């Protein structure tokens, strides 16, 4: 086992099961031109989010952390015509780029990008709730805050996904002084203890290295 082999298998799976798509490719190219770090989900994970939206028959999706709209496009494409995805992004330049990308992908009508810090935007979303699926992928330090809002803004049966829970193994280091890792650990502890959630976590390897994601159902 070696990171090169993980990436090769990931590329093979993406070629075989995911395929390529001009709008998604253009989104990644725009992200690159804007000198944003390639911290979007991997293609196989974008497809997983897409499938989770379909499997759960979600009509209202909430995303925290838009970047250039890559995962938003994946999820929006799984929504019915009257479905809606609200995605929160703190950086206005990212939000503007994402707006262009979701429009170019043909899902602009279904996607509402809210600019601001998620902790400030979330309390104002009661009128758009309940959400059927929530994808948490922003500042990891705030994961417990975002999980609390995910629970408040959803009903039993809703799906909650948290990205980046593996962190090259650092997540298992209880003594870490990295505030992002502490944030991930706090979120996982909450998913384990808070009666509003029933959850599991999976490690992943691939083009993004060694990481993972947690999936929960709102109880």
Query: Which residue ranges make up the site for ligand SAM (CB under 6 A)?
Result: 39-41, 65-67, 70-71, 88-91, 94, 117-118, 137-139, 142
Q: How far is the CB of 105 from ligand SAM (least distance, A)?
A: 12
The answer to whether 77 and 149 are in contact (CB under 8 A) is no
Report the residue number, 120 or 198, with the smaller CB distance to ligand SAM: 120
Sign, Cα dihedral of 118, 35, 40, 191: negative
Q: How far is the CB of 20 from ligand SAM (least distance, A)?
A: 16
Report the residue number, 32 or 91, with the smaller CB distance to ligand SAM: 91
The answer to whether 210 and 168 are in contact (CB under 8 A) is yes
Report the residue number, 139 or 178, with the smaller CB distance to ligand SAM: 139
Q: How far is the CB of 179 from ligand SAM (least distance, A)?
A: 13
- Taking residue 175's Cβ as centre, other Cβ atoms within 10 Å add up to 4
Q: How far is the CB of 201 from ligand SAM (least distance, A)?
A: 18
The answer to whether 40 and 73 are in contact (CB under 8 A) is no
In the sheet that holds 209-218, the strands lie side by side as 111-115, 84-89, 60-64, 131-136, 154-163, 209-218, 197-206
């Amino acid at each position: 086992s070696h990171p090169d082999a993980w990436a090769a298998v990931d590329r093979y799976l993406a070629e075989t099961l995911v395929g390529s798509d001009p709008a998604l490719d253009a989104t990644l190219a725009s992200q690159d031109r804007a000198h944003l770090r390639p911290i979007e989900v991997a293609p196989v994970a974008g497809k997983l989010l897409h499938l989770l939206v379909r499997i759960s028959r979600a009509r209202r999706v909430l995303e925290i952390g838009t970047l250039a709209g890559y995962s938003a496009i994946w999820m929006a494409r799984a929504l019915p015509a009257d479905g809606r995805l609200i995605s929160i992004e703190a950086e206005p330049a990212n939000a503007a780029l994402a707006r262009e990308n979701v429009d170019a992908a043909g899902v602009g009508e279904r996607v509402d990008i809210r600019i601001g810090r998620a902790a400030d935007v979330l309390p104002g979303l009661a009128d758009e709730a309940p959400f059927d699926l929530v994808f948490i992928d922003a500042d990891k330090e705030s994961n417990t805050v975002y999980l609390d809002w995910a629970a408040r803004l959803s009903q039993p049966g809703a799906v909650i996904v948290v990205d980046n829970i593996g962190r090259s193994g650092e997540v298992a280091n209880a003594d870490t002084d990295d505030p992002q890792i502490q944030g991930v650990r706090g979120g996982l502890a909450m998913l384990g203890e808070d009666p509003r959630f029933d959850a599991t976590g999976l490690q992943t390897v691939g083009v993004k290295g060694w990481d993972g994601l947690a999936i929960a159902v709102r109880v």
